[in-house]
Amino acid sequence: MSGWKPKHYHMIREEVYDMLTGLRVGLRKRRFSSLLLAFAIMMGALVIPQQASAADYTVQKWQTVEISLTSSKTYTNPFQDVDVTATFSGPGGVTITRPAFWNGGAVWKVRFAPTVTGAWTMTTAANDTTDTGLHNVTKTIQADAYTGSQAIYQKGFLKVSSNGRYLTYNDGTPFFYLGDTHWILPHERFSTSNKAGVASQFKYVVDKRVGQGFTVYQSEPIWQPHGGGTHTGADEEAVANLSDGFSSTDLPGFDNLDRKFKYIADQGLVHANAQVTWALDPASYSGVYTDAYMARVAKYWVARYGSYPVIWTIAQEIDRNMYNNYNTTTMSKWYAVGQSISDNDAYNQPLMPHMENTGTSVASNSTWASKAYHDGWAVQWQGDMTGMSTAKDFWNFATAKPSVMYESAYDGFWTDSRGALGAAYKSFQYGIYGYGYGASGTWNDVYSVSGAAEDFGTGYELPARYTWWYDGANYVTGDQLTYFKNYYTSLEWWKLVPRFDDASWGAFSDTSRSLLSSDGNSVYSVFFFNGTTSTGTLKQMDNAFLYNARWFNPRTGGYTAISSSAQASSGQWNIPAKPDSNDWVLLVQKTSTPAPNLTNMALGKTYSSSSSWDANQQAPKAFDGTTATNWQACNTCWNGQWLEVNFGANTTFNKVVLTEYDSRTTGYRIEYWNGSAWQTAYTGTSIGASFVPKTITFSAVTGSKARIYFTSGTANAPIIYEFEIYYDVPNLALGKTYSSSSSWDANQQAPKAFDGTTATNWQACSGCWSGQWLEVNFGANTTFNKVVLTEYDSRTTGYRIEYWNGSSWVTAYTGTSIGASGVPKVITFSAVTGSKARIYYTSGTSYAPIIYEFEVYNQ
Read off the pLDDT of residues 628-641 as tens digits, 9 standing for 90 and up: 999 999 999 999 99
Q: What is the band of 597 on the pLDDT scale with cuts at 50, 70, 90? A: low
Q: How does pLDDT run across 826-849, given as a tens digit for each residue?
A: 899 999 999 999 999 999 999 999
Q: What is the band of 599 on the pLDDT scale with cuts at 50, 70, 90? A: confident
Residue 727 has pLDDT above 80, yes or no: yes
Q: What is the band of 25 on the pLDDT scale with cuts at 50, 70, 90? A: very low
Residue 39 has pLDDT above 50, yes or no: no
Q: What is the pLDDT of residue 252?
A: 97
Residues 187, 319: one domain? yes
Q: What is the pLDDT of residue 692?
A: 84
Q: Hey, how many other C-beta atoms are within 10 angstroms of the C-beta on 336? A: 22
Name the domain boundary from 119, 147, 175: 147
Residues 395, 279: one domain? yes
Residue 570 has pLDDT above 60, yes or no: yes
Distances (CA, A) of 522 to 143, 474, 518, 519, 533: 43, 37, 7, 6, 25
Residue 671 CA to residue 681 CA, distance in Å, equals 5
Q: If you average pLDDT over every residue of the chain, what do you get?
A: 92
Q: What is the pLDDT of residue 424?
A: 98
The more confidently predicted of residues 13 and 464 is 464
Q: What is the pLDDT of residue 46?
A: 41
Q: What is the pLDDT of residue 399?
A: 97
Residue 587 CA to residue 758 CA, distance in Å, equals 13
Domain limits for position 552: 499-576+585-590
pTM of the model: 0.76
Residues 481, 515: one domain? no
Residues 400, 442: one domain? yes
Residues 668, 752: one domain? no
Q: Hey, how many other C-beta atoms are within 10 angstroms of the C-beta on 106? A: 17
Residues 786, 647: one domain? no
Decide if 851 contacts 823 (C-beta within 8 A): no
Q: What is the pLDDT of residue 31?
A: 38
- Sign, CA torsion 461/462/464/468: positive
Q: Evaluate whether residue 126 is within a structural domain.
A: yes
Residue 695 has pLDDT above 70, yes or no: yes
Query: Which helix (H) or strand (E) segment is 343 a member of?
Result: helix 332-344
The more confidently predicted of residues 119 and 698 is 119
Q: Hey, how many other C-beta atoms are within 10 angstroms of the C-beta on 477? A: 23
Distances (CA, A) of 356 to 224, 283, 316, 325, 820: 22, 17, 8, 12, 41
Residues 473, 506: one domain? no
Residues 251, 279: one domain? yes
Residues 72, 33: one domain? no
Q: Evaluate whether residue 731 is within a structural domain.
A: no
Residue 6 has pLDDT above 50, yes or no: no
Residues 725-749: what's their mean pLDDT? 93
Residue 546 CA to residue 548 CA, distance in Å, equals 7
Residues 403, 552: one domain? no
Q: What is the pLDDT of residue 206?
A: 98
Residue 162 has pLDDT above 80, yes or no: yes
How many structural domains does the chain have? 6
Lowest mean pLDDT among 610-624, 752-766, 800-814: 752-766
Residues 642, 774: one domain? no
Q: What is the band of 593 on the pLDDT scale with cuts at 50, 70, 90? A: confident
Q: What is the band of 470 on the pLDDT scale with cuts at 50, 70, 90? A: very high
CA dihedral 50, 54, 56, 59 (to 10 degrees): 150
